[in-house]
Structure 1
Amino acid sequence: MNEEQRISGEQEYAVIFYDGVCGFCQKIVQFILPRDPEGKFRFVAIQSEFGRRVLTEHGLDPEELSTFVLLDRGKIYTRSTAGLRVLRELGGLWKLLYLFIIVPRPLRDLVYKLIASNRYRLFGRTDACMLPRPQERARFLA
């Protein structure tokens, strides 16, 4: 079974869709990689053909790059909920931040949108997606 078939169904790992040209988004991916030694997460740039197709199949607009998307066990999570679910899976003290899930989603997403709308200005924008190190390459699906 190839990655494309797996991601459309029940995959054995969660998939994070990120803005591949966003400096902040790339830092988030670089933050997750060493804190996920079991490889629970795979990564796909939203701008990739594969990422765009999968998001569209799940009813999301890939042109809307201001959202963090997590596909886990066939279910899509976005914005603050996606971020909190990722932190929960990283374990250690990071999972304690999942307690913020009790904050009403509109309030959490308001903070998320504030950061997202300023991410290029604060963290920059690159012309291309990051290149993973050879030992991490298999965790990037497209």
Structure 2
Amino acid sequence: MIESTSATVIVYDGVCLLCSRWVRFLLERDREGRYRYASMQSEIGRQLLQSHGLDPDSPFSMLLVEDGRGYTDTTAIARVLRGLPSRRWRWLSAMMLSVPRSVRDAAYRFVARHRYKMFGRSEQCFAPTPEQRSRFIS
């Protein structure tokens, strides 16, 4: 399924403009190439979502797979931020996790449910540059 079982993979909505901006943000800051990416529209993205008990057609299906374990919603976002090299992102991660999960996940789900209206939608998935292409799993 994935070339390396130790890969840390982020499954995102490839046609969501907010999600594509999130991936671009991570690509710019993750200089070590810790994260790999799979869109939920790809076969591997769908398989990863399903193997972690998520519906690949759900608007809430953002997934982080780290050390074989799946994380969703704001926990996934906080873990990704914690993995970035700058202290400011680790600090933001800690601040996020200090908010009760029910509150932060309710806010996440609201944005996820309305993300196409709020941020827009593309007819095609985010296309990485040739330099970034090795970080994406097809």
TM > 0.5 fold call: yes
Aligned to 1:98: 93
**1:128 pairs with 2:132:** no
**SS in structure 1 opposite 2:107?**
helix
- Structure 1 alignment gaps of length 5 or more: none
User: d(CA) in 2 for partners of 1:20 and 1:43?
Assistant: 10
**1:37 pairs with 2:27:** no
Alignment of 1:1-142 (within 5 A): 4-6=1-3, 10-11=5-6, 13-92=7-86, 93-99=88-94, 100-142=96-138
Q: Number of paired residues?
A: 136
**SS in structure 1 opposite 2:121?**
coil
Q: What amino acid is the match of 2:134?
A: A
Task: Specify whether residues 5 and 34 from structure 1 end up closer, same or farther in structure 2 by C-alpha distance, changes over 3 A only.
Answer: closer
Kindly report the root-mean-square deviation, in angstroms, between the aligned alpha carbons of the 2 structures.
Answer: 1.3
Q: What amino acid is the match of 1:72?
A: E
User: d(CA) in 2 for partners of 1:134 and 1:65?
Assistant: 29
User: d(CA) in 2 for partners of 1:114 and 1:50?
Assistant: 26
For the 8 Å contact 1:42–1:140, the answer to whether it is kept is: yes
Normalising by structure 1, what TM-score? 0.90
**SS in structure 2 opposite 1:64?**
coil
- Structure 2 alignment gaps of length 5 or more: none
User: d(CA) in 2 for partners of 1:80 and 1:131?
Assistant: 25
More helix by share: 1
Normalising by structure 2, what TM-score? 0.92
Moved more, 62-71 or 126-135: 62-71
Q: How far apart are 1:26 and its partner, in Å?
A: 0.3
Q: How far apart are 1:65 and its partner, in Å?
A: 2.8
Q: How far apart are 1:6 and its partner, in Å?
A: 4.2
For the 8 Å contact 1:87–1:94, the answer to whether it is kept is: yes
User: d(CA) in 2 for partners of 1:54 and 1:67?
Assistant: 10
